[in-house]
Amino acid sequence: MNNTLSHTDLTLVTCALAAVASPLLAALVNFCLPVKSKIAGWASTVAILLSCVLAAKVFAGVWNNPQIHVQQVWFTIGHTKVYAGFLLNNLSVLMLLLVSVIALPVHIYSTAYMKHDDRYSRYFTYLSFFCFSMLALVVVDNLVLFYAFWELVGFSSYLLIGFWFTKDKAVQANKKAFIMNRIGDIGLLSAIIILFAMYGTFDINALFGHEGMLSISAIRDGQWAIQPDLLPRSYGSIWLSGGASGSLPAIWQCIAVTGIVLAVAAKSAQFPLHTWLPDAMEGPTSVSALIHAATMVAAGVFLLGRVYPLFTQTELTVLACIGCFTAFMAATIALTQNDLKRVLAYSTISQLGFMVLGMGVGAYSSSLFHLVTHAFFKCLLFLVAGIVIHEMQHVKEENNLDIDPQDISLMGGLRKKLPLTFVVALIGGLALIGLPLTSGYLSKDGILIQAFEWSDGKAAWFKIIPVMALLTSWLTAFYVARLIFKVFFGEFRLPQIYPGLKMHMGDGGWQYKLPLVLLALCCFFPLFSFNPFGYEQAWLSSGLRLHGLAKFGSIYHLSIPALVNIFSLLVIYAAYIIYVKQSTFSFPQTGFFYRLSYNQWYFDRIYKRVFVKPILGLGKFMYWFDKNIIDGFIHLLAAVSRFVAGFAAWADKYIVDGFLHMVAAIVQSIGNFARKFQGGKVQYYLFSMLAIVLLLFILKILI
Amino acid sequence: MITLTDFLIVSVMLFCIGLYMIVSKRNAIQILIGIELILNAAILNLVAFGKHDATNNSGQVFALFAIVLAAATTAVALAIILNVYRKYKTIDPGKINNLRD
């Protein structure tokens, strides 16, 4: 540990360590409990509550104070020392607090939601392990550790998505999520290796921190190197460990960034690796809430936040394009989905697209701000969806219906049956749309305004990005309105289809209500800013501002919010007309765009055709090749050697043994012949004697 | 005129018959008879050769000795055969193939 660490800093680090470790402890305890034990839920919840409190303490101590960086030698290879430690700066303590705060209501909710599950304690084991991985991910200071926890997050999400492993779809979904994430992991790993080759260190602070190595390196003349003229005066000389050259061809920087982008795309479900997220809805809804809110999918954006200085301007533009396209695409898909959770999943992808777009246009703080605000309202919406699905499931089971409890076309009018759920869903929905007074307004408009400011003074086509983002936010308004209207307004459609249903619906116990209320309260502006209309004033936004990013006012600060919100209200009204008033106007369900959207832009089908089929074909060919050529060759060898062995056996049996047998037979026959003269018959002895004497006489005469 | 050769021919015939009987018969008594025939062939030779002998009647004397010896041995052999018969209920020498008590 650093000797310079003050007493308070040491306390904070200990707190952070405890906050990270307590879910792990809970996971270990739960792992030892029997699978149905009800203690598990409370063990995990208490652990995450503890994490929450400790994280809050760490947050209060570190926020807007100098960062705390402690490390210890982890292992040494040759002369390279690899350190492990904590890096507590504004970004990591914010994430630490956010993850634990979001996880707490999800845990409370889960104790009720998973009550009747057969593997109750397993669920909480996985959940706690997931939280541990994510909490550790945000505080580690080292890319190797980062990668390890990045993998653990992926692994625990695999366990959680496939929690109901008897369902075939769940198994397919978790496999898909896992494989998609592997693709990203390869990217991250290669980026880490390239960075190590370049700078000889894994230390995030030394690489990406203020005055870190990346801030003093640049690409000039096709070489990516540390530029001496960028060195601050305070630096006497730059020391690079492990024989790193500090200079590589520029292409490697490109590859490293591509790797990072791939990793971000996989974890944060960006185009082209987004298809796992909607399928991941097969897990329990509470898991969806956690994965979608602040943890798994946020990890990608968090990674972007960590390695931000790595990106060059061009690469940021590409990033913005990816984010923009993802946001738009996901929003269009969300318009037509009928599965309650799928709409929300696409909404998450869309909002993550916004965050990546924000990163791409340099709206670093707004992007992370959006991550934070989005966590609350998306978590809230998922918990709401969980309650709705839960109640629909009850109706289904009570009446033995064959329906999909997640199908929103069967719902409607639930506001009377689930009043609290309705109110919080409305709050969450409005925040997601980004209407004034909500937290979503602050963060989303921040991104939009900065996207417009960014495109100013650039070529005309750069305007496409902010305009698409603007369009996307209206689409968001539409699909959110559609979802809420279809679920909570109008008449309940299920009794109309199946008359005489028995129904007992309600908001559920306090374990359902408390998390909803907590999260709903966090969807309003006062938590983040005293001024409901200015994202610049948000404490969060200013705390995360990067050094050297200028902030300037422009006409957009007034026009964009007005444009967005007025249009959004119009869109919501249109949705109201369509879905509640049931006016004559309805969307044609056969058009190309409808089908494109309903089939999720055919991504799954394209991937199936372009990647899965050829790979399966390749696999089949390999199998065939293995079976016929390689095995055939082996079999041939076997046959040949078997033949040789057979011949040897035959030769052994008939030639070698045969010779011996012949010798034996000769000896035996001689013996037999000789024996015959000793048969115990006296006359025969005489006879033979006579014969021999005669023979001798004849021989004597002849010779 | 009966010459020595005629005696010898008879003797050889007797010898051969005796030998044949010894080798081929399955009856111990007949074998004994065969032995007697051989002995007789020998005795016949002794008597025939005795005519040309310088010492008087030595051939006949030898013949007498031989006849006595033959009678003695045959008596012994008959005793043995009787004992054998008692033990084996047969006097076929081919079937008597051990000398147990």
Residue boundaries of the structural domains of chain A: 1-141, 142-598, 603-693
| Amino acid sitting at position A432 | L
Task: Find all residues with CB under 8 Å of A140, minimum gap 6, and list them.
Answer: A84, A85, A86, A87, A146, A149, A204
Cα–Cα distance measured from residue A399 to residue B30, given in angstroms and rounded to the nearest whole number: 119
CA distance B99 to chain A (A): 10
Contact A683 B93 (CB under 8 A): yes
CATH number at residue B38: 1.10.287.3510
Look at residue B12 and tell me if it is in a domain: yes
Is the separation of the CB atoms in A122 and A35 below 8 Å? yes
pLDDT for residue A245 is more than 70: no
pLDDT for residue B74 is more than 60: yes
Contact B94 A690 (CB under 8 A): no
Instruction: Identify the pLDDT of residue A667.
Output: 92
Kindly state the DSSP code that residue A546 receives in the 8-state scheme: P
Q: What is the arithmetic mean of pLDDT over B90-95?
A: 79
For the beta sheet containing A247-249, the strands, ordered from the edge strand earlier in sequence to the opposite edge, are A217-220, A223-226, A247-249
pLDDT tier for residue A549 given thresholds of 50, 70 and 90: very low
pLDDT for residue A571 is more than 80: yes
Q: What is the arithmetic mean of pLDDT over A232-261?
A: 71
pLDDT tier for residue A585 given thresholds of 50, 70 and 90: low
Instruction: Identify the pLDDT of residue A547.
Output: 47
Q: What is the pLDDT of residues A354-376, one digit of tens each?
A: 888 988 888 888 888 888 888 88
Contact A683 B94 (CB under 8 A): yes
Cα–Cα distance measured from residue A336 to residue A597, given in angstroms and rounded to the nearest whole number: 6
pLDDT for residue B101 is more than 70: no
Name the percent of chain A lying above pLDDT 90: 8
Q: Which of B19, B24, B93 sits opposite A682 (nearest CB)?
A: B93
Cα–Cα distance measured from residue A371 to residue A98, given in angstroms and rounded to the nearest whole number: 10
Look at residue B97 and tell me if it is in a domain: no
CA distance B40 to chain A (A): 19
Average pLDDT, chain A: 83
Angle at A410 between CA A406 and CA A411, to 5 degrees: 85
Q: What is the arithmetic mean of pLDDT over A79-106?
A: 86
pLDDT for residue A701 is more than 70: yes
Minimum Cα–Cα distance from A691: chain B residue: B23
Cα–Cα distance measured from residue A356 to residue A333, given in angstroms and rounded to the nearest whole number: 19
Whether residue A272 is preceded by a cis peptide bond, meaning omega within 30 degrees of 0, is yes
The range of the structural domain enclosing residue B85 comes to 4-92
The answer to which of A226-240, A308-322, A590-604 has the lowest mean pLDDT is A226-240
Is the separation of the CB atoms in A143 and A202 below 8 Å? yes
Q: What is the arithmetic mean of pLDDT over A182-210?
A: 85
Instruction: Please write down the HEC assignment for all residues of A395-455.
Output: HHHHHCCCCCCCEHHHCCCHHHHCHHHHHHHHHHHHHHHCCCCEHHHHHHHHHHHHHHHHH
Q: What is the pLDDT of residues A307-358, one digit of tens each?
A: 888 888 888 888 889 989 998 988 888 888 888 888 888 888 888 888 889 8
Minimum Cα–Cα distance from B28: chain A residue: A683
CA distance B66 to chain A (A): 22
Domain count, chain B: 1
The answer to which of A22-36, A51-65, A223-237, A617-631 has the lowest mean pLDDT is A223-237
B22 neighbourhood in chain A, CB within 8 Å: 683, 686
Instruction: Identify the pLDDT of residue A1.
Output: 41
Instruction: Identify the pLDDT of residue A663.
Output: 92
Taking the whole predicted model, whether its pTM rises above 0.90 is answered as: no
For A362: left if phi > 0, alpha if psi spans -120 to 50, otherwise beta; the answer is left
Instruction: Identify the pLDDT of residue A591.
Output: 72
Cα–Cα distance measured from residue A435 to residue B20, given in angstroms and rounded to the nearest whole number: 142
Cα–Cα distance measured from residue A366 to residue A373, given in angstroms and rounded to the nearest whole number: 10
Instruction: Identify the pLDDT of residue A2.
Output: 46
Contact A681 B93 (CB under 8 A): yes
Contact B22 A686 (CB under 8 A): yes
Is the separation of the CB atoms in A124 and A69 below 8 Å? no
Contact B23 A690 (CB under 8 A): yes
Instruction: Identify the pLDDT of residue B99.
Output: 64
State the distance between the two ends of chain A, measured CA to CA, in whole angstroms. 119
A686 neighbourhood in chain B, CB within 8 Å: 22-23
CA distance A652 to chain B (A): 42
Q: What is the pLDDT of residues A491-509, one digit of tens each?
A: 777 777 777 777 777 777 7
pLDDT tier for residue A534 given thresholds of 50, 70 and 90: low
Look at residue B99 and tell me if it is in a domain: no
pLDDT tier for residue A693 given thresholds of 50, 70 and 90: very high
Cα–Cα distance measured from residue B77 to residue A284, given in angstroms and rounded to the nearest whole number: 116
Q: A311 or B100: whose pLDDT is higher?
A: A311
Q: What is the pLDDT of residues A163-180, one digit of tens each?
A: 888 888 888 888 888 888
pLDDT tier for residue A699 given thresholds of 50, 70 and 90: very high
Minimum Cα–Cα distance from B34: chain A residue: A683
Q: Locate tokens 């007992």: which residue?
A: A504
Which residues between 656 and 695 in chain A have a beta carbon less than 8 angstroms from any beta carbon of chain B? 679-683, 686-687, 690
Look at residue B100 and tell me if it is in a domain: no
User: How many angstroms separate the Cα of A149 from the Cα of each of A129, A137, A145, A565?
Assistant: 11, 5, 6, 40
Minimum Cα–Cα distance from B27: chain A residue: A683
Contact B23 A687 (CB under 8 A): yes
A679 neighbourhood in chain B, CB within 8 Å: 97
Cα–Cα distance measured from residue A426 to residue A422, given in angstroms and rounded to the nearest whole number: 6
User: Hey, of A683, A684, A688, A694, which one would you mutate to test binding to chain B, going by the most B CBs within 10 A of its CB?
Assistant: A683
Q: What is the arithmetic mean of pLDDT over B52-62?
A: 84
Which two three-digit tokens encode residue A216? Answer: 């003093």
